[in-house]
Amino acid sequence: MHSDIIKKGPDRAPHRSLLRATGVIKSEEDFGKPFIAVCNSYVDIIPGHAHLQEFGRVVKEAIREAGGVPFEFNTIGVDDGIVMGHEGMKYSLASRELIADCVETMVRAHCFDGLICIPNCDKIIPGMLMGAARANLPTIFVSGGPMVAGTDSQGKKIDLISVFEGVGALASGKIDEARLLELEQRACPACGSCAGMFTANSMNCLCEALGIALPGNGTILATAPERKELLRAAARQLMVLVEKDIKFRDIVNAASISNAMAVDVAMGGSTNTVLHVLALAHEADVNYSIRRFNQIANRTPHLVKVSPAWDGARQWHMQDVHAAGGIPAIMKELTTKKGLLDTACLTVTAKTLGEDLASAENRNPECIRPLKNPHSKRGGLCVLFGNLARQGAVIKVGAVEQVQMTFKGPARVFDGEEAALAAAKANQIQAGDVVVVRAEGPRGGPGMREMLQLTSYLKGTPLSEKLALITDGRFSGGTRGLCIGHVSPESAEGGAIGLLRDVDVIAIDLPARKLVVELSDEELAARKKDWKAPARKYTRGWLSRYSKLVLNAAKGAVLKD
């Protein structure tokens, strides 16, 4: 066992003495058992993580029962909803790199034999995935589970996005303060990751598609009894992986990443998944270009519309997807057409994906549409290219209304989210505008802030389907409408978005995957000559170091090696 490095032989007597002092070692026999790292992300201030302390206890008990010795450690976490709309959001994406470094450090420094990760929200999941890819041990992921959707006084399902959009609706007079208070009090009724197909749930579902988590990981509710049984099953299965020496990179490779992206575009996942999958591929030493996302989306139909997307007059949530059969049901639908999934991929069940899906069943073809009746023939995410995004820009096309598939209008250029939000609140944005928010990229922000406060405010006003928004920053998985993020190169590195001026005409063509500004190459080159790199906003601390090292969104916003 790898852990023999710290526990075998007379030279390791001091190490064993320290291990005894932890209280984890219960008997001399424990030194002959696999040492298992339990990487938890329990944090009181994040509702998706507030229950994970108890989940850690369940996992540790199951590991010990299965013949391992569990050692738990924690990571940090940032709640994207709570840090939304202020400086704190600059730390969200940057926290992913800290989490990856911490997982790598803890696991490799202490010579563990296996790793079980308990994430749930936003950057914590990809951060753990990246750290696990570096450590490359037998590994399994088991999340904290999604939150049940809220219900208002009329029996209508609501979620966190209902509250964000309610702020804009109040400002425009569409609702009153009593209704906003009702939304606030009822939208998030329990622990768990927010109830729609936002970033957290998208990533937890993709862990299943990658093969690094057991079926149900992404969709079993946080408060359901089945979630604790999934924890126990994951702990038991990790011990099987340790025995068989099936490591992280035996499962996560180019083929399984393509499987995950096929599921992603079929279920209309968050735009942030593109960023995180690129980062995971980098850490797993897989050459994976952003252009491959369109290749997969072009051949994979969009089968599921979950909040924030609307399916006609209704809105599905994660509990509905689970009742319909969950991620296995989506994957089973994809296997009905050759070439959409590689069913020979190994998973943490120690079987192939095809074997895992043998008993999967779509129990609600209205929620999870069959392949012959998709929402669209192409997937719910796409990457746009053009002279405004030569390295790509990302949109959740499955959450865009048909009337917005093409758009052309004058640019309204803002440096930073605050300036754009202030203009929106002052009614200075007009129908037909293309709102450009720059200086929010990974380097320029720094931290590539999500802009759910801005997008949801605009969505709550009468302008909701009459304008477009473009940024080198990010959008929440809860964003819907014609919102294009991840524009690369970003403005801080001299990308075209940093050269725009008010009234420049921008043309968007989603079917053609195009994002262009109607300027000649000569005009853009002339403007580039006058461009100067902006001064760094932070000169000390983590964000200062981050802004020096981070690459752009087309490269996954990873740090330079």
Write out pLDDT tens, residues 287-327: 999 999 999 999 999 999 999 989 988 999 999 999 999 99
Q: Which residue has the higher pLDDT, 476 or 431?
A: 431
Q: Are residues 165 and 214 in the same domain?
A: no
Residue 123: predicted pLDDT = 94
**pLDDT at residue 477 above 80?**
no
Asked if the structure places residue 3 within a domain, the reply is no
- For residue 463, the model assigns a pLDDT of 85
Please indicate, yes or no, whether residues 519 and 442 belong to a single structural domain of this protein.
Answer: yes
Decide if 201 contacts 311 (C-beta within 8 A).
Answer: no
| Burial of 524 from C-beta contacts in 10 A (0-12 / 13-18 / 19+) | middle
Residue 451 lies in a domain: yes
Q: Is 105 exposed, middle or buried (0-12, 13-18, 19+ CB in 10 A)?
A: middle
* 34-38, 90-94, 206-210, 459-463: least confident range: 459-463
Q: Is the pLDDT of residue 66 over 90?
A: yes
Residue pair 226/216 in contact (Cβ under 8 Å)? The answer is: yes
Average pLDDT, the chain: 96
Query: For the chain, what is the domain count?
Result: 3
Cα gap 561→558, rounded to integer Å: 9
Q: Is the pLDDT of residue 413 over 80?
A: yes
Between the alpha carbon of residue 195 and those of residues 156, 191, 250, 328, the distances in Å are 14, 10, 32, 19
Q: Is residue 165 part of a domain?
A: yes
Q: pLDDT class for 390, splitting at 50, 70, 90?
A: very high
| Sequence-separated contacts (24+) of 412-416 with Cβ below 8 Å | 412/436, 412/502, 413/438, 413/500, 413/501, 413/502, 413/504, 414/438, 415/439, 416/440
Task: Quote the pTM value.
Answer: 0.96
Compute the average pLDDT of residues 204-212.
98
**From CA 98, how far away is CA 243, in angstroms rounded?**
30
Confidence of residue 561 (pLDDT cuts 50, 70, 90): confident
The pLDDT assigned to 480 comes to: 82
**Residues 114 and 237 grouped into a single domain:** yes
Full residue range of the structural domain in which residue 156 is found = 150-186
> According to the model, what pLDDT value does residue 462 have?
85
Examine the pLDDT at 360 and tell me if it is beyond 80.
yes
How confident is the model over 407-425, as a mean pLDDT?
95
Do 69 and 173 fall into the same domain?
no
The predicted pLDDT at position 401 comes to 84
Grouping H, G, I as helix, E, B as strand and the rest as coil, residue 66 is: coil
Q: Is the pLDDT assigned to residue 479 strictly greater than 90?
A: no
- Is residue 517 a contact partner of residue 487, using CB atoms and an 8 Å limit? no
Asked if residue 400 and residue 293 are part of one domain, the reply reads no
Residue 168 has pLDDT above 90, yes or no: no
Question: Please, are residues 186 and 159 in contact by the beta-carbon 8 Å criterion?
Answer: no
Residue 263 and residue 406 in one domain:
no
As given in the structure block, the two tokens for residue 116 are 């079980």
Give the CATH number for residue 544.
3.50.30.80
Neighbours of 351 (CB within 10 A): 13
Residues 83, 172, single domain; the answer is no
pLDDT at residue 446 greater than cutoff 80: yes
Residue 561 counted as domain residue: no
What is the pLDDT, as a whole number, of residue 105? Answer: 98
- How far apart (Å, rounded) are the C-alpha atoms in residues 395 and 380? 9
Say if residue 438 is in the same domain as residue 475: yes
Q: In the prediction, which pLDDT does 34 show?
A: 98
What's the confidence (pLDDT) of residue 460? 80
| Residue 143 Ramachandran class (φ > 0 left, ψ -120 to 50 alpha, else beta) | beta
pLDDT above 90: residue 476 = no
Q: Is residue 276 part of a domain?
A: yes
Read off the pLDDT band of 504 (50, 70, 90): very high
99 is a domain residue: yes
Distance CA 421, CA 457 (A): 8
Last residue of a domain, one of 296, 321, 356: 356
pLDDT cut 70: percent of the chain above it? 100
Of 161-170, 182-191, 411-420, the range with the lowest mean pLDDT is: 161-170
The model's confidence at residue 491, banded by pLDDT at 50, 70 and 90, is: very high
Residue range 261-291, pLDDT digits in tens: 999 999 999 999 999 999 999 999 999 999 9
If asked whether residues 79 and 98 sit together in one domain, one would say yes
CA dist 342 and 466 (Å) reads 41
- 296 and 331 belong to one structural domain: yes
pLDDT of 429? 94
pLDDT above 90 covers a percentage of the chain that reads: 92
Catalytic sites, residue numbers:
476
pLDDT at 189 over 80: yes
Residue 376 is assigned to a structural domain of this protein: no
Is 258 found in the same domain as 292? yes
Categorize the per-residue pLDDT at 459 as very low, low, confident or very high, splitting at 50, 70 and 90.
confident
Q: What is the pLDDT of residue 85?
A: 86
Judgement on whether residues 446 and 311 belong to the same structural domain of the protein? no
The per-residue pLDDT for 49 is 97
Could you tell me if residue 79 is inside a domain?
yes
